[in-house]
Structure 1
Amino acid sequence: MTAPFSVMLFAAGMGTRMAPLTADRPKPLICVAGRALLDHALDLTDVPQVGRRVVNVHYKAGMVRAHLAGRDVAISAEDPLLETGGGLRHALPILGAGPVMTLNTDAVWHGPNPLTQLAAAWQPKMEALLLLVPPAQVAGHVGKGDFAIAPDGRLTRAPAQIYTGAQIMRTDRLGDVPQDAFSLNLIWNEMAQRGGLYGISYDGRWCDVGRPDCIPLAEQMLQAPDV
């Protein structure tokens, strides 16, 4: 890479799967091992490969704004909710041109920094590079998997490895989508058809913290010996 990537941290969702804990706070401010999920995610961005940081907000946005006050983090406010694709497009004036990283805030990691791993693997020929994890290295996730990685690194839809919520992607195609709110899955499917969707496997362990019962699983993983 020649310059740091801007990173979009998704933090605007309603957190319905995390109820009742989200009755009085947004999901990114729920604590795991004594720290907010959003802070766990922001820790990952404190590396040379990351430049500008943007957090999107919607549900209980004032609480997220207050939590981030005084930090070098920009806010992208959404009203109404725009989903992942629409939210990323809405934030592009802040993120800037060029490929960007995106990171979900409802997960914790144990092992190498995932953003560093992505930056090291990024190549100009790629339209997007998704970080996946084998099921044996996952906690808290319900599902059979999202993608299979071919020998050349290209991705196809298959119940094999699980998408972790971390990626690098080019954003020039986002403007082609007519609707305001849309999922990044729409863009990924088009990239896959063109042969531009790539993936790599994460070298550590990952926990999806989408439900209250996932919190003790995440804390147990964080306390485990280094992998």
Structure 2
Amino acid sequence: MGEPTAAMVFAAGFGTRMGALTQTRPKPLIEVAGRALLDHALEVAHAAGLRAMVNAHYKAEMVAAHLQKRPEVEVVIERPDILDTGGGLKAALPLLGGDPVFTLNSDAVWAGPNPLDCLRDAWRPEQMGALLLLVPLERTVGYTRAGNFAADAQHRLTRDAGGMVYTGAQVLHTGGLADIDEASFSLNALWDQMLPEHQLFGIEYPGFWADVGTPDGIGLAEKMLEQHGHV
């Protein structure tokens, strides 16, 4: 079982929480500290030595045009319907080439070590179905919801609304996607397969993480980068 060599960067969403900012452009092209969110994510993947793939749906042509300067990045356009994270990953599997893979949301900014390197160092493919990168609420920026998960001493996860926050970065085996018949579905469906089998794991990110989901999140993320540095 080989080491993961590819990362799927999710960039297909509508960005409705951004309000007017996403009426003229997709959320992944909104800039934080002078760079598009999508470029922040792709730099994380590139710095980790990974081949990156991006999915797109809302204003997909703008995403594709933006990535013309990165010919090494393949773009998968979801038409006619958006496929959500699970469906998008499943549709891209023939192009990703191999299992396991990393996934990374494009609406986050990091201050600290490379999140994908953190996952790679802790990944144990023989015992884990997925390894999620989590962060405590007190080291989130721009995040206004509850936590998602709690981890035991062996890093196995349970769902916990008061726990740590899933950052949108993970490494996972993709075989279970074949058991899900829907075309459009969240990766939560795959995690729900893994939870009863104690195959869902998580580790804590040691740095700071910004959720850039609303207009306020842009300035908060920029302030975080000024205070704590960049990946």
Q: Name the SS of the counterpart of 2:118 in structure 1.
A: helix
> In structure 2, what is the equivalent of residue 150 of structure 1?
152
User: Offset of 1:131 from its aligned partner?
Assistant: 0.1
User: Counterparts in 2 of 1:24-35, with a 5 A limit?
Assistant: 24-35=24-35
Alignment check: 8 A CA contact 2:111 2:228 kept: no
Instruction: Give the deviation of 1:76 after TM superposition.
Output: 1.0
Alignment of 1:190-205 (within 5 A): 190-205=193-208
Structure 1 segments unaligned to the other structure (5+ residues)? none
1:120 match? 121
> What residue number does 1:86 align with?
87
Query: How far apart, CA to CA, are the structure 2 residues paired with 1:78 and 1:24?
Result: 19
- 1:189 is aligned, of 179, 187, 192, to 192
Matched, 1:174 2:174: no
Q: Deviations over 1:99-137 (max 9, x none)?
A: 000000001000000000000100021100000000110
What CA deviation, in whole Å up to 9, does each residue of 1:53-76 have, x standing for no partner? 100011111111111004110011
- Which stretches of structure 1, 4 residues or longer, exceed 2 Å deviation after superposition? 1-5
8 Å contact kept, 1:4–1:49 = no
Identity %: 54
Say if 1:3 and 1:49, in contact at 8 Å, map to a contact too: no
2:169 maps to 1:162: no
**Structure-2 separation of matches of 1:151 and 1:85:** 28
Counterpart position of 1:99 = 100
Residue 49 (structure 1) shift: 4.4
> CA distance change for structure 1 residues 48 and 83 in 2, over 3 Å: closer, same or farther?
closer
Q: What's the counterpart of residue 40 of structure 2?
A: 40
Summarize deviations over 1:22-43 as a string: whole Å, max 9, x none.
Answer: 0100000001111100011111
Q: 1 CA distance for matches of 2:56 and 2:173?
A: 22
Alignment of 1:121-136 (within 5 A): 121-124=122-125, 125-136=127-138
1:4 and 1:48 in contact (8 A); partners too: no
Counterpart amino acid of residue 152 in structure 1: Q
User: What amino acid is the match of 1:145?
Assistant: G
Rounded to whole Å, the distance in 1 between the matches of 2:2 and 2:106 is: 26
3-state DSSP of counterpart to 2:46: coil
Aligned to 1:141: 143
| AA of the residue aligned to 1:146 | N
Q: TM-score, normalised by structure 2?
A: 0.95
Residues 28 and 38 in structure 1, CA contact (< 8 A), matched pair in contact too:
yes
Q: CA deviation at 1:226?
A: 4.7
The amino acid of 2:178's aligned partner reads: G
Contact map agreement 1:102 1:168 (CA 8 A) in 2: yes
Q: Is the 8 A contact 2:48 2:114 kept in 1?
A: no
Q: Say which structure is richer in helix.
A: 2
User: How far, CA to CA, are the matches of 1:56 and 1:103 in structure 2?
Assistant: 11
Paired positions, count: 226
Q: In 2, distance between residues paired with 1:136 and 1:225?
A: 14
The TM-score normalised by the length of structure 1 is 0.96
SS of the residue corresponding to residue 102 of structure 2 reads strand
Paired residue secondary structure (1:186): helix
